[in-house]
A = this chain, B = another copy of it.
């Protein structure tokens, strides 16, 4: 393992090169960026043998390290998954380019014409765990928005990420864009993460992608701003005016479609006047294999304890509780939520309006599954993650959220009196 000072110098160099690349990317033509991404897609497909061989080395390492089956699965690449990476790169290439877009323009009595125009953010650091596809996804989204990116993958996916990164660089080269636009941290040393989190002079924002351990570490240690969510403690409230059929369908989907994603429901709140419907929803969930941690007045798999409120299971578990009314549901959510996504099932517009107005989460839904909390489903094409902070990016973070803006002001010899 290298010396801390060496790693720090290495990362300073990575940062400096990213900043220089960002200055050039800021005015790179949209066509060049699209060319780079399409060429990268071709390279990934052409070099899939290499990528799979590199992945085999990572899998060996993972086996030695005793990774769980779930982690090994996340790490593994095959032709199908590589096809997914290729399709992802092509999709991002095809998006509308956000940079230079006029967000608003207006005239002033002084004679000035003012435009607010999208610009790249600058340099984005992405820190992720074992999924090697994040290398391509995050690199592509950052580039699309005209940013330079510094990727730091998990040590488990070191060789896979390097192989994919080589294809991205091939794409940049083919388009005549600076190769430093997408850099992969060339060391497994953890000190590189610490350095990256502190480089306020070179890095504009950090996006962590991974579990609570990683995100918590990043949020604690970062001096650079962070777009992240720590947990998705997602609540679904069954109002007294809920439609039974819609409710049963939506809740089952919200929990069981993919119980391990951040948009999966973790807590079911049931209006006291809808207790019978709530119980039938719980019965459906149990029949589907979900362990229901039920509060008083409900029959679940196990009795809920205080610890079940505000808990993120990421598994086939859900908490369930009877509440007095919509305000009681709102109070529970405001106390325990992680401000990611919450849903209300109701046919009552007033109840929905109250729920929307009084809960401050990034995404609020009515009569829809919380599993839709995803950039792709929102029409953003792809996302680099979901943010629960309130500054700049909130909800799914797509290419547009990776931009900033500036004002372009035009006069005609105009002076201020």
Contacts and interface: CB of A to CB of B under 8 A. Distances in A.
Nearest to A372: B416
B112 A416 contact: no
A368 B413 CA distance: 5
A165 B121 CA distance: 38
Interface in A22-43: 23, 26-27
Given A392-B392, A413-B246, A414-B250, A406 B205 contact: no
Given A204-B390, A378-B114, A243 B363 contact: no
Nearest to A410: B366
Contacts of A119: 360, 390
Contact of A390 (B122, B407, B408): B122
Interface residues of A, number: 61
Interface string A256-286: 0100000000000000000000000000000
Interface string A232-244: 0000000000010
A61 interface: no
Contacts of A110: 372, 377
Given A367-B413, A371-B416, A413-B243, A408 B250 contact: no
Contact of A394 (B243, B372, B404): B404
Contact of A112 (B245, B257, B368, B395): B368
Contact of A391 (B26, B27, B225): B225
Interface string A92-120: 00000000000000101010101000010
A368 B409 contact: yes
Contact of A410 (B225, B362, B365): B365
A405 interface: yes
A206 to B, nearest CB: 12
Interface in A373-401: 377-379, 390-392, 394-395
Given A367-B411, A372-B112, A411-B367, A406 B362 contact: yes
Interface of A: 23, 26-27, 106, 108, 110, 112, 114, 119, 121-122, 204-205, 225, 243, 245-247, 249-250, 252-254, 257, 334, 356-358, 360-369, 371-372, 377-379, 390-392, 394-395, 404-416
